[in-house]
Amino acid sequence: MATVIDGKAYAQKLRNSLAETVATLKKDHDLVPGLAVVLVGEDPASQVYVRNKAKQTIEVGMQSFEHKLPAETAQDTLLALIEKLNGDDSVHGILVQLPLPSHIHESTVINSVSHDKDVDGFHLINVGRLNTDGGGVVPCTPLGCLMMLKAQLGDLTGLNAVIVGRSNIVGKPMAALLLQANCTVTIAHSRTQDLEGLCRSADILVAAVGRARMVPGSWVKPGATVIDVGINRIEEQGKRRLVGDVDYDSASAVAGAITPVPGGVGPMTIACLLHNTVQQAKRLRGIQG
């Protein structure tokens, strides 16, 4: 059976270390990192994430600012709020929860957040940095995945990595990070030929498509490391359940190591958001390290 990669434990360790850094920033620099989260509309999953983010931000000693706007909010009203947050010295990180209602132009909003306060790594400048010389802020979910992969496998040089899913939030930045880590990287998607054979060639298999249990154990190379980014709500035998993009039962019988859902990638994503906020706070104040 595969080793279970305990994302909850990794996230706790990262939060403990961040709490120490935050305490030092306060003591030595009179700096309390602040994270502003903007939620437009009432999407239930987004509401849960935003609540968890705020709770954990406060737990590590940072300031949390929540802005909840109704679904019918005009784009200009949202842009005006972001402009205000860009100019607010107590705010070091700004996250606009996605997806946004369909009347709002997502990339206009994303790029209106100052790249110095972008904690998602979605701003074009940060995307550009990730894909060139690094040094910008890195999207939270792929960053968490990379941290767990390195903790599990050490040096990733030369490994074949297959990422199923080509989203801007996960697939593409994950590919950039694994390339930087010297993997040979393939991004697969809905039009990929022989997806099964391709997945079976992977030493590292990252599933990020948003389809419940799409990847069965028969697609996993024996001993491979499987990272399951999916969070799918399904109903099974009259019960509501959270499952990943990987069929955990069959895959964990073949893989060398695997992240569970829940308790794998999810907790690390929020911990990485806090990490990015601390990084941006330090950068904005010119504090090294």
Which residue is at the shortest CB distance from ligand GUN? 98
Quote the DSSP letter at residue 221: P
Q: State the residues that interact with ligand GUN by CB under 6 A.
A: 95-98, 120, 140-141, 169
- Residues 200, 262, 17: CA angle, nearest 5 degrees: 105
Q: What is the rounded end-to-end Cα distance, in angstroms, of the chain?
A: 40
Report in angstroms how near the CB of residue 213 gets to ligand GUN at its nearest. Answer: 20
| Nearest Cα residue to 214 out of 188, 238, 240, 183 | 188
Least distance to ligand GUN from the beta carbon of 65, Å? 15
Map tokens 């999407």 to a residue: 43
**Other CB atoms closer than 10 Å to residue 219's CB: what's the count?**
25
Q: Of 42 and 196, which CB lies nearer to ligand GUN in the complex structure?
A: 42
Tell me if residue 120 is catalytic: yes
Least separation in angstroms between residue 49's CB and ligand GUN is: 7
Closest separation in Å from C-beta 122 to ligand GUN: 7
Q: Would you say 95 or 278 has its CB closer to ligand GUN?
A: 95
- Toward ligand GUN, which CB reaches closer, 57 or 141? 141
Options 53, 117, 172, 282, the catalytic residue: 53
CB of 203 to ligand GUN, least distance (A): 26
Specify the residue, 54 or 98, whose C-beta has the smaller distance to ligand GUN: 98
* Residue 262, burial from CB neighbour count under 10 angstroms (0-12, 13-18, 19+): middle
Which among 267, 236, 235, 264 is positioned nearest to 248, based on CA atoms? 264
Identity of the residue, 2 or 143, whose beta carbon is nearer to ligand GUN in the bound complex:
143
Read off the tokens for 3.
């080793």
CA distance linking residue 229 with residue 128, whole number of Å: 23
Cβ burial of 276 (10 Å; 0-12, 13-18, 19+) is buried
> Which of 56, 117, 118, 120 does the annotation list as catalytic?
120
Catalytically active residues, by annotation: 53, 97, 120
